[in-house]
Amino acid sequence: MSAGNSPAPAAARPYRPPAPLPRTKPLSKLGFMVALRENPISTWGIWNFENPITTGRTALGPMTGVSSPEGIRHVMVDNVGNYVKDRLQLRVLKPGLGTGLLTAEGESWKAARRTLAPLFAPRTVETFVGTMQAKAGAMVARLQAQPLGARVNISDEMTRVTFEILTDTLFSDAVDGTSQEFGEAFTRYFENQGKISPLDMLNAPDWIPRFNRYRAQPAINFFEEKVRQIIARRRALLATPGAAVPRDILTLLLEAADPETGVGLSEAEVGANIVTFLGAGHETTANALSWTLFLLAKHPAAQSAVAREAREAENLALVDWLDNLPMTRAVIEEAMRLYPPAPTLSRMALAEDEIQGVRVAAGSTVIISPYVVHRHRSLWSEPDYFRPERFLPPARDQIDRYAFIPFGAGPRVCIGQRFAMHEAVIVLATLMRHFGFAMPKGESVMPLQRITLRPSPRLEMLLQRADAAG
Ligand code: HEM
């Protein structure tokens, strides 16, 4: 049994947020393909949320779903050398993201991870806190220009603030393009490429055209063009004697050299990493923040508690955010439990393996779904309910490391985890100091998996005075 499992106090009325109901009967092969294409999280059956390991033959071939902390640890840590990113995942991600850190394997992954790690070290991330605060402040100023009661597109606002933070910190403002342009390109890419084609499910050869890829192509062209511009400008700066060159992700990528061979990253690898960081680095956090605000709108007591904590922490020293706003952090973590921005992680087994007594064939797919694990009946009490107190200390310490995996685990754990948590806490606290949020009457959203897990339709909320919710 994992943490946060003591029953809710009678006074606290937990809220059950929207999600597809787990299926009670297995889908036919065709039904599975249709549901997978429409919304992959709707394919899960109740048995997935009840058993540690499930096996089956789907339209995608033999598949093992691993949802126990012990099994997850086996795949992601103890026997990690036996598991690589699987074919379908690469087919979805590679056309746009190329071979960047997220999709690379073996030595090229190791070299890239080593090169980029210093940029995400705790001490470096702390130097970004000032920028995170400034961009969150600019968002507050934008919203203050709106009348109270105005309807605000929260999905757009969160995309904008996270994009601005990312480009200012990791790219030193070298990205030429607005959050709206990039936001639209990533949405178009995820929307089309993230809709899994039946041809991909059937492992049809790459030369057979896929309609969804055709529709994703303008976004891919946009990325290529932007990347060319970004690299050319930075190369020019590096070649200018005496120019002040920022030690950011671009410089690290362009100067990276393997210590053994001295070989640097190819032009394609540099470009792939730029798009990867732009893609992986803001959509995910923007979705986490959008879901958090939605849940707070539905739970006024939690909203008041976060607002109070944020106001009390007004004079916090710059680097102290993450550890001194426990309620703010807890609601973000509870939102990522219910709506993990990366809801499905998948791998292919290189050699035959055994996980908790279950045989895994060589070449078969292993799915670890944070969405399923985070709502698993044997790991959480009231798994489908919003109960942020699970993540408040000391209850939080009881949560099994492998029962809460929004950022993955093991050597391929999200490199931007600390960056994202700092950012999310700062943006949420800054917002909640100034505003309250409510859902327009009669409106709701559902989680839709398109690579990331986002609210559908895009989230619009009503702006209120900061204390209105309390
Ligand atoms: C709430 C925000 C975020 C979530 C939930 C998230 C989630 C994840 C997950 C689950 C993985 C592992 C994927 C796997 O094992 O297959 C991952 C990897 C990765 N993430 Fe994040 N991420 C977030 C924010 C960020 C940010 C802010 C950045 C960069 C600034 C980033 C960059 C990456 C990269 C480059 C990888 C690949 C790491 C590797 O394979 O070595 N992510 N992320």
At 358-375, the pLDDT tens digits run: 999 999 999 999 999 999
Helix axes 300-312, 267-298, angle to 10 degrees: 110
* pLDDT interval class at 59 (50, 70, 90): low
Residue 14 falls inside a structural domain:
no
Residue 165 in contact with ligand 1 by CB distance below 6 A:
no
Residue 173 falls inside a structural domain:
yes
Residue 337 in contact with ligand 1 by CB distance below 6 A:
no
- What pLDDT does 470 receive? 45
Phi, psi of 127 (to 5 degrees): -70, -15
How far apart CA 330 and CA 233 sit, in angstroms, is 41
Residue 285 in contact with ligand 1 by CB distance below 6 A:
yes
Residue type, 210: R
How far apart CA 365 and CA 446 sit, in angstroms, is 28
Residue 453 in contact with ligand 1 by CB distance below 6 A:
no
Check which CATH number belongs to the domain holding 57 and give it: 1.10.630.10
Helix axes 87-97, 211-239, angle to 10 degrees: 50
Lowest mean pLDDT among 24-38, 341-355, 406-420: 24-38
* pLDDT interval class at 202 (50, 70, 90): low
Kindly tell me if the per-residue pLDDT of 9 is higher than 50: no
- What pLDDT does 402 receive? 98
Residue 298 in contact with ligand 1 by CB distance below 6 A:
no
- Domain span holding position 377: 29-465
- Taking the CA of residue 112 as reference, the ligand 1 atom at the shortest distance is 41
Residue type, 341: P
Residue 419 falls inside a structural domain:
yes
Residue 11 falls inside a structural domain:
no
What's the structural domain count of the chain? 1
Residue 288 in contact with ligand 1 by CB distance below 6 A:
yes
Q: Is 263 helix (H, G, I), strand (E, B) or coil?
A: coil
Residue 301 falls inside a structural domain:
yes
Tokens 């508690």 found at: 305
Residue 385 falls inside a structural domain:
yes
* CA 181, chain centre distance (Å): 20
Q: Residue with the nearest Cα to atom 20 of ligand 1?
A: 414
Report the pLDDT averaged over residues 275-295: 93
Substitution site in 72, 167, 336, 414 for ligand 1 pocket (most atoms within 8 Å of beta carbon): 414
Residue 399 falls inside a structural domain:
yes
Residue 2 falls inside a structural domain:
no
- What pLDDT does 210 receive? 59
- What pLDDT does 185 receive? 83
Q: Which range, 74-78, 192-196, 274-278, has the best average confidence (pLDDT)?
A: 74-78
User: What is the chain's mean pLDDT, rounded?
Assistant: 88
